[in-house]
Amino acid sequence: MTMMEKPLPVPTPTSRPFWEGLRQRKVLLQRCLDCEVYVHYPRSNCPNCLGANLEWREVSGLGTLYTYTIARRPTAPQFQDETPQKIAVVELDEGPRLTTTLVNVDEAAIKVGMRVRPVFEDVQGTEVTLLRYEPA
Amino acid sequence: MGLRGEAAIVGIAELKPERRPQGPFKLPIEQWADLAKRALDDAGISPREVNGICSSSSIREASMFVPATISEYLGTKVNFAEVVDLGGATAAGMVWRAAAAIELGVCDVVVCALPSMPGPQPPQADGRPRGMGFGASSANFGSPQAEFDIPYGNVAQNCSYAMIAQRYAAVYGYDPWAMAKICVDQRTNACANPAAIFYGQPITADDVLASPMIADPLHMLEIVMPVSGGAAVVLAGKERARRAKHRPVWVRGFGEHLEIKTPTYAEDIVKTPVGPAAEMAFAMAGARRSDIDLVSLYDCYTITVLLTLEDAGFCAKGEGAKFIKEHDLTYKGDFPCNTHGGQLSFGQAGLAGGMSHVTEATRQLQQRAGENQVPKADLAFVSGTGGVMSEQAALLLQGD
């Protein structure tokens, strides 16, 4: 049986700078110039004011662990090799949240509210870099 | 604002949940027709009287023009044709839309059906392995989920509900025993309902807590088991409802609320859209929480029940576990909840799983729930949850 291909992000014209940023070890967020909130995931229009004046800014990528789970069964067949998977939601210091997985941490050490920092993982044989997190 | 309470559920149809369906496979559209016939027979209404239909978008025979396809197949001429796309909240969403259309005078008899049996495969099926999809998660190009969630394994429902539960634990504390009691009480209800998939199989809290951990903190027995089935309801206007076979069950209030698709982007992951939906339903009906005789709470997971109890206002935020421990949630108890067994023990037949909350509340209010009958059943609260606490619909149903 052949290994099922993992689902990878396919950048859109709007989101491309985010993924290119990760490739260069940078976390980029959109900032709305009209209402001054940070936005993630990338959008054409600000989810706070629907304004279309969004600008890319580099941020530290630091944040806190908002919540997590340890998926002890594959959430989809493609993730069989990563199971148990430490799926997490990180709240960035700028406000927005993102989905990620935790790496370099023991199960017992994971605590909601812990400080976390980005880990840039180049996906072999592709142009994609995923944004994972580890304890800061 | 809202309904006058002059449209009623008058008939129900429900197929017994089955792990492996018996009998010949039927196309979803054939199942639709069959469910419509059963629900109309139950109400004592002729198919010729139907002038409204409400469907989900998941009729395999058509991806567009769904109501027209159904109308033609059934030979039914309709003035009201609606497709509802609210996942597990579809059933409750259908009921209020049908009631609203009836009260507006657009139509008088509406069938809402949710077939959920597997159908026959087309003869030229290409034999590709199944299970390649991502369930309710969209993998389409440009979908935020496809780009920012699916690559990290945040797919399907288990892990997202587990992350809600984990956050709840961090904010309010977590009582695994109380969560297990939800399963135990609902299983007691299922053991009094011969139609339930887990009929005759009682469980204890220890059984629940000893079942395998699927996604922390959710155990296997805290998660619904998908089954084959199907369910439908018929609604009718004031005059027609009074001449139907059973006690009319008036739709007195409803609410609906959506904010997000993926909980990662919720304003507060443990403050769910149940709140605004329930608030609207109660306000519209002019009813208090203490007036309610029984509840049918969408229960894809134990955490769904806990959050619904809190956010719908049956107890204070953070006090759900205490409430569960202080009340008997069985049909014999002081707070009857999911008297058919709930999806956790009755079975989750796709979108019809959510409809089972409506049909069971109706059966109770019509005083024909058999061994499970709640002695006083006049006012019921029904909730529907779609996605991962992302789409919410609530109903207040009152017996005539």
Q: What residue of A is the nearest CA neighbor of B171? A: A112
pLDDT at B378: 98
Q: What are phi and psi of B323, to 5 degrees?
A: -60, -45
When CB atoms are compared, the residue of A76, A82, A101 closest to B134 is: A76
Q: Give me the amino acid identity at A97.
A: R
Cβ-based contacts of B172 with chain A (< 8 Å): none
Residue A5 has what DSSP assignment?
P
Note the pTM of the prediction, 2 decimals: 0.96
d(CA A78, CA A81): 8
Asked if residue B17 lies in contact with residue B228, where contact means CB atoms within 8 angstroms, the answer is yes
Per the listing, tokens 């409506």 go with B358
pLDDT at B161: 97
Mean pLDDT, to the nearest integer, of A15-22? 98
CB spacing of B265 vs A73 below 8 angstroms: no
d(CA B282, CA B313): 10
The ipTM value here is 0.96
Q: Is the pLDDT of residue A2 over 80?
A: no
Q: Residue B279's CB: how many other CB atoms inside 10 A?
A: 16
Q: What residue of B is the nearest CA neighbor of A82? A: B153
Q: Give me the amino acid identity at B148.
A: F
CB spacing of B212 vs A72 below 8 angstroms: yes
Q: B145-193: per-residue pLDDT in tens?
A: 999 999 999 997 999 999 999 999 999 999 999 999 999 999 999 999 9
- Compute the half-sphere exposure of residue B104: CA atoms within 13 Å on the CB side of its CA: 13
Cβ-based contacts of A66 with chain B (< 8 Å): 167, 269
Cβ-based contacts of B159 with chain A (< 8 Å): 69, 71, 75, 85, 87
Beta-carbon contacts of A74 under 8 Å, excluding residues fewer than 6 positions away, are A80, A82, A83, A85, B153
d(CA B15, CA B26): 13
- Chain A interface includes B220 (CB < 8 A): no
- Kindly report whether the peptide bond that precedes residue B212 is cis, defined as omega within 30 degrees of 0: no
Q: B53-85: per-residue pLDDT in tens?
A: 999 988 889 989 999 999 999 999 999 999 999
The side-by-side arrangement of strands in the sheet containing A27-32 is: A38-39, A27-32, A54-59
pLDDT band, residue A1 (cuts 50/70/90): very low
Task: Give the DSSP letter string of B140-157.
Answer: STT-HHHHHTGGGT--TT
Q: Find the distance separating the first CA and the last CA of chain A, reported in whole Å.
A: 39
pLDDT at B119: 87
Cβ-based contacts of A41 with chain B (< 8 Å): 144, 147-148, 265
Residues of chain B with pLDDT under 70: 124-132
- Inter-chain contacts counted by CB atoms under 8 A, chains A and B: 109
Cβ-based contacts of B263 with chain A (< 8 Å): 89
The side-by-side arrangement of strands in the sheet containing B249-258 is: B80-84, B52-56, B109-116, B228-237, B7-18, B249-258, B391-399, B379-386, B294-296
